């Protein structure tokens, strides 16, 4: 047990829950639960979930919490189970209201460098052991037992700092869409998940399984090459479509007849350290949220195919239970609204032991390159060890009274389209040397770092600034923050 003066102990807010919703557009905070529903016993899970559902439907409460991977046998007795340790299999806080909050106000300002990144991570599997497990999986594939196995292991380290700072840093580093923070008292969950398990809005059900990974490139061109490689990779496409078929099959058990469809297949999503491949499966359903969970849990993207036999293989090869990792975290709300992520990119803190654990892994198929799989798994852990630095995009331009901007023919881009209409005949912009090239380069940088860039605001500020130059040459800087705020300044050249 860490000392009482420890930030891990002092920053103790049991029942606090924060969930990112609407594909990352909003954050909801829940405090002071009226009740907590939890269990460590598989045979009690259905009863506890029915208690949660009744509170949501009849008392119009909100429920925020998680379901651990080892809860699976509660939904289907054919799914294998194993002891899950000290973490509850199911945990939900019940709340009277949801409070919408802004990311910057969720937690007090903290010094990330004082606690992040956590050092000393120890892998629960060596490269040799992981390679041996992959060999065993390929033997199982050769026998026809499975087509794909999601093989995982955990990292762990001692941790004695403010968990709120850790979560804030993870969210900034990952640029996730389905993040969640839960304080159960003993445990703190910090999830920066990019994967939507399922979302219910009335009768509309949606899932976005994620399967397929490639490292980011070092330049815009190299980055696009990496994206194209992922998009055209036979291995990654095969893994992705296999999982899509599993999700379609799972949804078919609770969908209205003929409504299961795939509105998006093989989409690529950019994150700070990796490209990910996702697809979307959707349907219409009259099933209750608990029935939906029973049909889909655990998410096919973190098991493999076929689900039952593959989960048996996972139990044989993975030396420890997964716990919350690859389970799900989310909320239930009145009027048939619900959202759950897949609990990946998720860190679990234990206040009693001051230990942090973090699961990683990946899908293994017949043509997987054994020596690459371990490295791919470690790549997904960079959200922990590589804090996203604070920076601004910077572009420096020359302005002189004699310059005339050229039409944008050689450097077309989404950003530079329309620059000519601002500049031609506009003396306030005509003095900027090679304006189109500078703006194209700025747009490329913004695209690479996923910074929102408003071209109208850039042009507006450049025009306003140029009106104050009084005919003397200027060095002009355009700065764009990570949130898209634009600032332009100038210095007279002598």
| Whole-angstrom distance, CA of residue 364 vs CA of residue 125 | 16
324 burial type by CB count under 10 A (0-12 exposed, 13-18 middle, 19+ buried):
buried
Q: Quote the pTM value.
A: 0.85
Pick the closest to residue 252 from 288, 295, 209, 293 (CA basis).
Answer: 295
Supply the angle between the helices 307-317 and 127-143 in degrees, to the nearest 10.
150
Note whether 404 and 358 are same-domain residues: no
Note whether 488 and 357 are same-domain residues: no
| Whole-angstrom distance, CA of residue 455 vs CA of residue 101 | 28
Q: What's the total number of domains in the chain?
A: 2
Torsion of CA 106, 110, 111, 115, to 10 degrees: -80
For position 412, which CATH number holds? Answer: 3.30.470.10
Is 475 inside any structural domain?
A: yes
Is residue 197 within 8 Å of residue 207, measured between CB atoms?
A: yes
Is 260 inside any structural domain?
A: yes
Q: Could you list the active site residues?
A: 195, 211
Note whether 335 and 418 are same-domain residues: no
Is 2 inside any structural domain?
A: no
Enumerate the H helices of 31-190 as residue ranges: 45-58, 112-115, 127-143, 163-174
Is 1 inside any structural domain?
A: no
Q: Residue 337: beta bridge partners?
A: 201, 333
Note whether 345 and 253 are same-domain residues: yes
Is 131 inside any structural domain?
A: yes
As given in the structure block, the two tokens for residue 345 are 């990119």
For position 232, which CATH number holds? Answer: 3.60.120.10
| Whole-angstrom distance, CA of residue 104 vs CA of residue 417 | 33
| Whole-angstrom distance, CA of residue 323 vs CA of residue 312 | 16
Question: CB 374: neighbour CB atoms within 10 A?
Answer: 23
Is 132 inside any structural domain?
A: yes
Burial 406-419 (b: 16+ CB within 10 A, else e): eebeebebebbeeb
Q: What is the pLDDT of residue 421?
A: 46
- Domain end, chosen from 340, 366, 385, is at 385
Q: What is the pLDDT of residue 272?
A: 83
Cα–Cα separations (whole angstroms), residue 88 to 37, 84, 193, 218: 10, 8, 20, 42
| Whole-angstrom distance, CA of residue 53 vs CA of residue 62 | 9
Q: What is the pLDDT of residue 463?
A: 92
Q: Reading across the β-sheet that carries 486-492, which strands appear in turn?
A: 392-399, 474-481, 486-492
Note whether 53 and 157 are same-domain residues: yes
- Reduce the DSSP state of residue 320 to 3 states and report it: coil
- Domain end, chosen from 385, 420, 448, is at 385
| Whole-angstrom distance, CA of residue 432 vs CA of residue 429 | 6
Note whether 258 and 372 are same-domain residues: yes
Torsion of CA 154, 88, 363, 79, to 10 degrees: 140
- Domain end, chosen from 366, 385, 404, is at 385
Phi, psi of 453 (to 5 degrees): -125, 120
Phi, psi of 142 (to 5 degrees): -65, -35
DSSP letters for 354-407:
TEEEEEEEEEE-TT--HHHHHHHHHHTTHHHHSPPPP-EEEEEEEE-TT--PPP
Count of alpha carbons within 13 angstroms of residue 132, beta-carbon side = 9
Is residue 10 within 8 Å of residue 4, measured between CB atoms?
A: yes
What radius of gyration do the chain's Cα atoms show? Answer: 25
Note whether 441 and 476 are same-domain residues: yes
221 membership: H or E segment, kind and range: helix 220-232
Note whether 162 and 301 are same-domain residues: yes
Note whether 79 and 99 are same-domain residues: yes
Domain that holds residue 405: 392-492
Cα–Cα separations (whole angstroms), residue 313 to 26, 136, 137: 39, 9, 8
Is residue 398 within 8 Å of residue 473, measured between CB atoms?
A: yes
Note whether 366 and 404 are same-domain residues: no
User: What is the tally of helices (H) and strands (E) in the chain?
Assistant: 14, 23
Q: What is the pLDDT along the chain (494 residues), one digit of tens a residue?
A: 555 445 555 567 899 999 999 999 999 999 999 999 999 999 999 999 999 999 999 999 999 999 999 999 999 999 998 988 889 999 999 999 999 998 777 765 555 554 555 678 899 999 999 999 999 999 999 999 999 999 999 999 998 888 988 898 888 877 799 999 999 999 999 999 999 999 999 999 999 999 998 999 999 899 999 999 999 999 899 989 999 999 999 999 999 999 999 999 999 999 888 899 999 999 999 999 999 999 999 999 999 999 999 999 999 999 999 999 999 999 999 999 999 999 999 999 999 999 999 999 999 999 888 888 998 888 878 777 666 677 899 999 999 986 554 444 434 444 444 444 444 445 568 899 999 999 999 999 998 888 999 999 999 999 999 989 888 899 999 999 988 999 999 999 97
Note whether 399 and 320 are same-domain residues: no
Angle ∠(357,41,308) on CA atoms, nearest 5: 75
Question: CB 280: neighbour CB atoms within 10 A?
Answer: 17
Note whether 363 and 231 are same-domain residues: yes
| Whole-angstrom distance, CA of residue 261 vs CA of residue 37 | 35
| Whole-angstrom distance, CA of residue 210 vs CA of residue 205 | 17
């Amino acid at each position: 047990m860490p000392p009482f003066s420890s930030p891990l102990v002092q920053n103790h807010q049991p029942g606090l829950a924060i969930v990112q919703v609407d594909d990352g557009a909003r954050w909801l905070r829940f405090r002071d639960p009226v009740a907590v529903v939890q269990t460590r016993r598989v045979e009690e899970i259905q009863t506890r979930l029915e208690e949660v559902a009744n509170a949501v439907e009849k008392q119009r409460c909100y429920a925020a919490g998680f379901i651990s991977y080892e809860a699976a046998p509660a939904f289907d007795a054919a799914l294998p189970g194993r002891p899950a340790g000290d973490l509850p299999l199911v945990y939900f806080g019940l709340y009277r209201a949801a409070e919408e909050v802004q990311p910057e106000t969720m937690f007090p300002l903290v010094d990330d460098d004082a606690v992040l990144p956590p050092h000393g991570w120890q892998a629960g599997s060596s490269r040799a052991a992981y390679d041996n497990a992959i060999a065993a999986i390929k033997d199982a594939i050769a026998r026809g037992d499975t087509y794909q196995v999601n093989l995982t292991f955990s990292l762990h380290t001692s941790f004695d700092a403010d968990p709120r700072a850790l979560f804030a840093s993870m969210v900034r580093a990952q640029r996730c869409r389905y993040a969640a923070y839960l304080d159960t008292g003993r445990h703190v969950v910090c999830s920066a998940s990019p994967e939507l398990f399922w979302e219910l809005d009335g009768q509309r059900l949606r899932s976005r399984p994620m399967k397929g990974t490639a490292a980011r490139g070092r330049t815009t061109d190299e980055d696009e090459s990496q994206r194209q490689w992922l998009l055209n990779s036979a291995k990654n496409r095969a893994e992705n479509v296999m999982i899509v078929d599993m999700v379609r099959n799972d949804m078919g058990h609770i969908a209205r007849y003929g409504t299961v469809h795939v509105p998006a297949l093989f989409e690529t999503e950019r994150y700070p350290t990796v490209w990910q491949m996702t697809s979307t499966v959707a349907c219409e359903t009259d099933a209750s949220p608990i029935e939906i969970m029973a049909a889909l849990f655990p998410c096919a993207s973190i098991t493999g195919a076929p689900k039952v036999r593959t989960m048996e293989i996972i139990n044989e090869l993975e030396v420890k239970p997964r716990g919350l990792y690859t389970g799900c975290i989310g909320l239930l709300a009145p009027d048939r609204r619900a959202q759950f992520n897949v609990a990946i990119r998720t860190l679990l803190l234990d206040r009693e032991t001051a230990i942090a654990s973090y699961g990683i892994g990946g899908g293994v198929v017949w043509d997987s390159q054994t020596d690459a799989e371990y490295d791919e798994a470690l790549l997904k852990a960079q959200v922990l060890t590589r804090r996203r630095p604070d920076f601004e995009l910077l572009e420096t331009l020359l302005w002189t009274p004699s310059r005339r901007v050229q039409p944008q023919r050689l450097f077309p881009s989404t950003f530079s389209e329309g620059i000519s209409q601002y500049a031609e005949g506009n003396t306030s912009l005509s003095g900027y040397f090679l304006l189109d090239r500078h703006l194209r380069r700025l747009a490329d940088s913004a695209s690479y770092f996923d910074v929102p860039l408003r071209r109208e605001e850039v042009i507006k500020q450049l025009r306003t600034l140029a009106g104050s130059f009084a005919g003397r040459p200027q060095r002009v800087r355009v700065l764009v923050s990570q949130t898209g705020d634009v600032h332009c300044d100038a210095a007279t050249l002598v």
